[in-house]
Amino acid sequence: MGDPILNYRACGAECREDWLRMLANENGLPFGTVRRLAEELGEREDFGELVDICERGGRALQ
């Protein structure tokens, strides 16, 4: 997974919160929803998985 800060910066964000805001804006989701989804993933937070969930409108696979 690498250094999270480097991953955020590679996406054009300076920190996790900036990246979450970018995901929210790009997918038309409320920031709180994206932040909650990231928190639900917890330590498993995976950039790809979170992006996939956001692209599905915030709905995780059952």
- Flag whether 3 is in a domain: no
Domain for residue 51, yes or no? yes
List Cβ neighbours of 6 (8 Å cut-off, separation of 6 or more): none
The total number of structural domains in the chain stands at 1
pLDDT at site 48:
77
Count of positions (residues) in the chain: 62
> Is 55 contained in some domain?
yes
For 3-60, write each residue's pLDDT tens digit: 666 777 777 778 888 888 888 998 899 999 999 988 888 755 567 788 888 888 877 6
Which residue range forms the structural domain that includes residue 52? Answer: 14-60
The pLDDT of residue 31 is 93
In a domain, residue 46? The reply is yes
Q: What is the pLDDT of residues 34-44, one digit of tens each?
A: 999 888 887 55
**What tokens appear for 16 in the block?**
């996790």
- Whether residue 29 lies inside any domain: the answer is yes
In a domain, 36, yes or no: yes
pTM of the model: 0.72
* 62 band by pLDDT with thresholds 50, 70 and 90: very low
